[in-house]
Amino acid sequence: MTVDAQRRPRFADPGFWLGSLRVEGRALMAPMVGYNEAPLRRICRRFGSALAVTEMIKPEKLLRDDPQLLRGLCFGPDERPLGAQLALREPSLLVPAAERVVEFGFDFVDLNLGCPLKKECRRGWGAALLREPERAQALISAVVEAVPCPVSVKVRAGYELGERQGAEVARRAVDAGAALVCVHGRTKMGWYREPNDPAAIRDVVRAVEGRVPVVGNGDVVSLESAVALFAETGCDAVMIGRGAVGNPWLFRRIDLYLRSGEVLPEPAFDEVRALYREHLDQLEEAFGARRGFSQGKRYAYYYFGRFGLDNRTRARIAGARRRAELEDVLDALAGA
Ligand SMILES: Cc1cc2nc3c(=O)[nH]c(=O)nc-3n(C[C@H](O)[C@H](O)[C@H](O)COP(=O)(O)O)c2cc1C
């Protein structure tokens, strides 16, 4: 697929403002539970993701100062700008949780109004709040008043299939003082089975009327799909989740294209391997050799998937117990 130069979005400013916070680019890493540790955030940032958000922080653990959770909230300057994501429905819990994360130095607080998980929605968190726009507005307002940093919100197109509460909630969020809205163009009930709907993102862009930046999210897996999402929705930035795991080059390709129209070539095997090794090193350093290695093996499927991993190679990766064994598999893949 080639990029349609006619559709290239042209922004006078290569970045944007999230309230008082400067963001130097328009391709952003999405929060994903299990794919959000510091080494990944650092790599994505270096490769052009203009900001990151933590995965959804468990409020019960946060408010009882769970040591493991608190350790996970520490981050380095090379991961910034970094937001902390929270999901709750009771202002009496959400406000202290937001104040608590701010103590860790996060650049902004992100409120999750899109989480589709049953457990969270049953408690009225995440996407469930799309059905309670007034409550959502009051919650956002309470957090905006309580914290000194900008507050962003992440919503979905709607709750049930075909529902489109996202636009109203986005407008109310901005009325409440949110400095950025991110919208994933699917409903809660559609999970990943329904297609991402650019029209739902466009509706949010319209509802917000340029008062704050709107970030479009859903199914960006390539420069082409990023350009299409910009063109079809008028969004100010794109957020990328699954498509950037093992492919941080995507941020750089989008960023450079937006700035100059230049299309970077896809990375060659050796380049991918060098970055994968670095990621593995960082995981081992952060989590210890055993846990870091096992997490790192999982990333191998993402980094090397594009080089045609057959079932046998996948099984060899899964079975590797040491770095040397994994390197043997990669040697074989390089020579294939
Ligand atoms: C494994 C997984 C975990 C996720 N965890 C979160 C989360 O903690 N917070 C959040 O706002 N969204 C979460 N998401 C949703 C993503 O941020 C994103 O909105 C969604 O995957 C659509 O973007 P994509 O098509 O680029 O992946 C998660 C998605 C996946 C696949």
How many other CB atoms are there within 10 angstroms of residue 44's CB atom?
Answer: 27
Ligand 1, atom 10: closest residue by C-alpha:
31
Spatial separation of the C-alpha atoms in residues 289 and 270, rounded to whole Å:
24
Dump the DSSP string for 99-140: HHHHHTT-SEEEEEE----HHHHHTT-GGGGGG-HHHHHHHH
pLDDT band at 1 (very low <50, low <70, confident <90, very high): low
Give the pLDDT confidence of 75-104 residue by residue, as tens digits: 999 999 999 999 988 899 999 999 999 999
Largest Cα separation within the chain, whole Å, is 59
pTM attached to this predicted model: 0.97
Pocket of ligand 1 (CB under 6 A): 30-34, 55-56, 85, 112, 114, 154, 184, 217-220, 240-243
CA of 61 to the centre of ligand 1 (A): 21
For the chain, give the mean pLDDT.
Answer: 95
Burial 142-166 (b: 16+ CB within 10 A, else e): bbbebbebbbbbbbbbbbeeebbbb
pLDDT band at 335 (very low <50, low <70, confident <90, very high): confident
CB neighbour list of residue 78: distance below 8 Å, 6 or more residues apart: 42, 45, 46
Q: Which helix (H) or strand (E) holds 145?
A: helix 133-146
Give the pLDDT confidence of 175-227 residue by residue, as tens digits: 999 999 999 999 999 889 999 999 999 999 999 999 999 999 999 999 999 99
Give the pLDDT confidence of 296-331 residue by residue, as tens digits: 999 999 999 999 899 999 999 999 999 999 999 999
